[in-house]
Each structure stands twice: as C-alpha cells, then as structure tokens.
C-alpha cells in the first residue's frame, strides 16, 4: 500500500507542540516531507530552543506516522531556527544580535538580577546562543552571579571582547572598575557608558541578549527603552503592594515606547520553612498574578523565597547551573521557555529584506 502525503500530514497533525498549543502542520513547521516507497522522512522547525524536549517530540512524531497504513521506516529531524523579531519603530537592530530582552523592575531588591541570570542560563541550557548585558551601572551584580573576574580584552583597540562562563557571554561595567569603587556619574554619563557597553562589545552571534536593567523608571531606563532595539520586556516583582506599584510604572514605561511585555515573574511568592514545612506568604499572595490579569499580560511563573537561590547566586553558580534538575531550576526553565515561545510567535523583523536606498547628487 502506498503512503499518501495527505495521510501523513493528517497523522502528524495529531501531535501538538506542548509549548505553543498548535500542531506542527497548521503552524507550517513541517519541512521537506519525503516519501520513498514505505520510508518517510521530514523535518520540524522550532522557533525556540528546546534541546531537552527534542527526543520526546521525535518519539511522539514517529509513533504518529507509524499509525499510517503502509508506513515503514520513519526519520524525523527536529531543529531550532531562531530569527530576529520586530522591535520598536525607528530603532535599528544590532549586528550579530537577533533578539534583546529587557528584564526590569520598577523597584530594587525584588530579585531582578537573579531572575535575569537564571533566564539566560536556562535559554543557554536549551541550546541557544545567549549573552547578558549588565545595565546596572551603579550596582552591577552579574560579574559576581556569573562567577567571572577579570577585564575585557580588546583585539582591535576599539571593541571589547565579552567575558564568558557557563556558555553565556557577559558584559558589565563591573569588569571595568574596582568592586568597591562607586560610580558617581550623572544620568547622561551613565547612559553613554551603557550605550558603549552594548554597542562596542564584540558579541558573537547571539540568539538572545538578556539586559539586566537598573531598577526604576528614570532617565537611564527611559533612554535604554527608547534606543536599544528591544524584542520585549519581562517584568519582575514581588507580591508586595509597594513593589507592585513600582512594577506597574515599569510596565507602563515599556508600553509607552512600544516595547511588548513578554510577561510577569513573581519573585519571593511563598516561603516554605526548611525545618517544619510551614507555608507562609511573607510578602502577600498572588499580587503578580493579579497584576498580570489587570494588564492582560502573561503570568510567567512564581519563584519561592528560598535561601538556596540567594546562596547560589552569591557564590557565582546560579540555581540553573547549581541544581539543573531541581524544582526551582525547573521553574526558571519553564519561564525561559515561555519567553522564547512568545518571542517566536511575535512579528519577524523584515528590515534586512529591504535594500538600502542612497541618494547621490549628479555632478
């Protein structure tokens, strides 16, 4: 019995991508479907990194195709193709960086930097090329959290090489100044320094650059959100009313400059006593979830108030690399996957498709 292409597509259509909720046929992710007698081969293109899920998806797709009468050997190749997506109107993409994600909070002390570093490490663990820009000029923390010391090198005298650990490229003002040296700079100087850190770093082909934003919604944050080509922003808050008040301001700032909100992460959502197991909502309950509902944005997940998260970040081995198979790392990985999937669904960047028009005067 010959195998028809339509029968194969109908079978493949029964497999739903658990991350997008769509089947691969309707989403036009199936490529190069080939039938040679009873042998079937095809490719599946994913728009987000999913190294840990590929084997299970392949087994599910092979099982689905084998339900087709006459189907013999089945070969499925799943691969990830991450592309650049649209940013704010009038802002140009940076070379070698496909997508830039701001991790922001209106208030300091809510765990924004810890969230940023674990999201970056989670994306890298799934196979993406990832970088972190530590945009907090006055309080850089990524050198400590990423366990990196040293100064950036310059091979050409005009650009800096990013430092690297755990497969993630990192740039921070913390690499350029002594740790106990305060940055006594006014806003324009800090903004200029940040611009240089972003544009004069020789990033090596990044799928995602995570920007650990400084807390607040002042001049530096506004300039960054207007001038840096952002694919989207993740808002980090605690359930506490005063933190939510400032988080709302951060969310509104991004909305005003046309940066999509990818979702809200609720930090320190619950504390479980390590001795007796008593559960307590120290900073309140479900404040981030309510904020997400109020603004009709995705609630990406909740992280507990847990001593290990702080200890691991302070030691330069954040949770995703310290306990990659632990419960807390799983939450970070789920949040990272949702961010990547949301970006994959966003409008693509087509600026590179258009020719550059130059006008010259006839002599």
For residues 169 and 166, give the distance between their C-alpha atoms in angstroms, rounded to a whole number.
Answer: 9
Q: Is 111 annotated as a binding residue?
A: yes
- Pull the structure tokens for residue 75: 């070969």
CA angle 325, 330, 331 (to 5 degrees): 155
Find out whether 109 is annotated in a ligand binding site.
Answer: yes
Alpha-carbon gap, residue 73 to 70, rounded angstroms? 10
**What is the DSSP secondary-structure string of 324-359?**
TTSHHHHHHHHHHHHHHHHHHHSPBP-GGGSPPP--
Q: Is 112 annotated as a binding residue?
A: yes
Q: Is 28 annotated as a binding residue?
A: no
- Copy the structure tokens of residue 290: 């309510």
31 among annotated binding-site residues: no
Known binding residue 360? Answer is: no
Dihedral angle, C-alpha 18, 20, 26, 28, nearest 10 °: -110
Nearest to 213 by CA among 60, 325, 101, 298: 101
Helix, strand or coil for residue 56? helix
| Residues making up the binding site for ATP | 106-113
| Residues making up the binding site | 106-113
């Amino acid at each position: 019995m010959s195998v028809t292409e339509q029968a194969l597509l109908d079978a493949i259509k029964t497999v739903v991508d658990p991350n997008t909720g769509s089947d691969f046929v309707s989403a036009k992710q199936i490529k190069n479907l080939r039938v040679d007698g009873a042998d079937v081969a095809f490719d599946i293109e994913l728009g987000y990194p999913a190294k840990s899920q590929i084997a299970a998806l392949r087994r599910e797709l092979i099982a689905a195709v084998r339900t087709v009468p006459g189907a013999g050997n089945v070969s499925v190749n799943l691969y990830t193709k991450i592309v650049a997506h649209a940013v704010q109107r009038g802002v140009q993409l940076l070379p070698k960086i496909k997508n830039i994600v701001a991790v922001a909070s209106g208030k300091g002390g809510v765990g924004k930097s810890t969230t940023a570093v674990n999201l970056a490490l989670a994306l890298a663990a799934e196979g993406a090329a990832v970088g972190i820009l530590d945009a907090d000029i006055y309080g850089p923390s990524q050198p400590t959290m990423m366990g990196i010391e040293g100064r950036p090198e310059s091979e050409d005298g005009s650009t800096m090489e990013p430092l690297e650990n755990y497969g993630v490229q990192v740039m921070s003002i913390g690499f350029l100044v002594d740790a106990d040296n305060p940055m006594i700079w006014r806003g324009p100087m800090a903004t200029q320094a940040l611009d240089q850190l972003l544009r004069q770093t020789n990033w090596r082909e990044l799928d995602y650059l995570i920007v650990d934003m400084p807390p607040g919604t002042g001049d530096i944050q506004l300039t960054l959100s207007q001038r840096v080509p952002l694919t989207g922003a993740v808002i980090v808050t605690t359930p506490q009313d005063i933190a939510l008040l400032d988080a709302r301001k951060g969310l509104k700032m991004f909305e005003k400059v046309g940066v999509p909100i990818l979702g809200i992460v609720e930090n320190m959502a619950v504390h479980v006593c390590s001795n007796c197991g008593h559960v307590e909502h120290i900073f309140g309950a479900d404040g981030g979830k309510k904020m997400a509902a109020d603004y009709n944005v995705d609630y990406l997940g909740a992280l507990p108030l847990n001593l290990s998260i702080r200890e691991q970040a302070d030691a330069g081995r954040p949770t995703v690399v310290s306990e990659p198979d632990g419960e807390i790392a799983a939450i970070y990985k789920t949040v990272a996957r949702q961010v990547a999937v949301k970006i994959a669904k966003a409008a693509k960047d087509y600026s590179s498709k258009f020719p550059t028009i130059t006008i010259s005067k006839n002599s």
